[in-house]
Structure 1
Amino acid sequence: MSSSLRRLYEDLRKICVAVVYPPGEERDVVVQQLQRIGCRLKVLWPFPSEPPKDADVIFFWVSQELEGTTWTASAVNATLVALSDYESPTTLKLLLDTHAHGVITKPFRSSGILSTLVLARSSYGFQQRQQGKIDKLEATIKSRRQLEKAIRTLVDHQHMSEAQAYEHIRARATSLRITVAEVASMLIEAQEAMDKLGLGRPAAPPR
C-alpha cells in the first residue's frame, strides 16, 4: 500500500460519519461498509430537525417523503452524501437543492461507498479552500474601502493631501503596533461620533 493511500485510510478512520436513514437492509449495507472502512459511526433515525454537529461526514436520506426537511451543504459544516431512493424528477430536484458533495442511489452496494466517500471529502475540502480564498478577498476589499474612506476623511477634515493622509495612518499604525486597517476603522468611527455630536464640520484650511 502506498504512503498516500495509507494516509487516506488513516484519515477515514479518524472521522465521524453519521448515517441518517430508516432501518432496513439498505441502511445495513451502508453501515457495514463504513464499519469495514474503519470510520467512527453514528446511526440516527427518525430524521433529526438539526444535522449532527459533531459529524465530519453525513450520509442522509433524500426522498419526496422528507420534502422540506433535508439539509443543504451551505448550512452544514460537514461533507454531505445523499442517499436517494430513485431518480424521479422530484427527487433529482431535491438532490440539486441539497448541493450534496456526493450521491448514492438505490440499490446501495458496498463497492461504491468508499469511492463516493473519498470523492465527496475531496469535493468538500476544495469547496472549503475556495470559500477561504473568497473570505480573504472580501476582507481585503473591505479593508481597502475602509482605508480609502479614512483617507478621504483626513483630506476633508484635516486638509491633508491623500499622500499625507495615508502616511499619517501608516505612521499611527506603526506607533500603536496595529494594522493600517484598524487605524482606518478607528478614524472613521471617531469622525462618525464627532458628526453625531455636531462637531464634524471640516476645519478651516490653513492660511
Structure 2
Amino acid sequence: MDLITGRWHPHLNSYHYEGGWEVLSLRSPGGLTHNTVPDLQGEDAFEDTPLMDQCPAIRSLTRSFTCPVMSVRLLNLKAGALIKPHRDRELSFEQGEARIHLPVHTNDGVEFYVEDDRVIMPEGSCWYINANLPHRVANKGAADRVHLVIDCKVNDWLTMLFGDSEQKTRDLPFDADVQRQIIESLRLQRHEAAAALALQLEQELLAYLPVKSVDE
C-alpha cells in the first residue's frame, strides 16, 4: 500500500456516505485511474490502469478468473465513516453481473448489512453480495476498512463456482413474479450452467404453485 499512498480519490457518490470513503482504481473503463465509479453498462472497454503494475498479486488474482473481469478497485472506508442504505440497481448475479468483495484490512467494528442481515467478512475471505438489494456499511472501529472489489460478467465458470461455494441463505416470502423474472434473466445469459439453474428454479416454481384443473 505504501507505493500507492496519495493516489486514492474520494468516492464520487458523496450523497451516499459520511466521513471518508476512498477509491483506488486498478481496472476501469479506458484504464483511467481517476475513473472511480465503473459504468458497467457503458461502451468503453475495461482496461488495467497504470496502478495495477504496482499490485502484481492483485493482477495475478484477477487473471486467474475464468470470466470477463470488468472493474477492479480498492475501496477504503475510513474509521468512523458510514455508507448510507442504497442499491446498485441491476448489479446482481441474476442480471448477469457479480460484485466480489475480498476484505484486505478490516476490524470487528465494521457493520455490513444486506437488507436486515449483518454480513461479517473476515480478512482473506471472498464474498458475493446481491448489490441490487438495499445494503449499508458503518465502520465503527478505530482502523480503516479496505476491500478489494471486483466486478465480473457471469458465465458458466462463475455460475459453477457459486454453486460449489458455501451459501448463506435465509427464508424469504415466495414471490412467483420475482421467480419468473430471475428465470428469464438466467435464460437470456445463454450459458449452459445458467440455463440449468433456470430449469431448476422453474421446477421449484411449478412445485410451489397450486395445481389447477382444466375446468377452472
The TM-score with structure 2 as length reference comes to 0.29
Indicate the structure with greater strand content. Answer: 2
- Structure index of larger Rg: 1
More relative contact order, 1 or 2 (CA 8 Å, 6+ apart)? 2
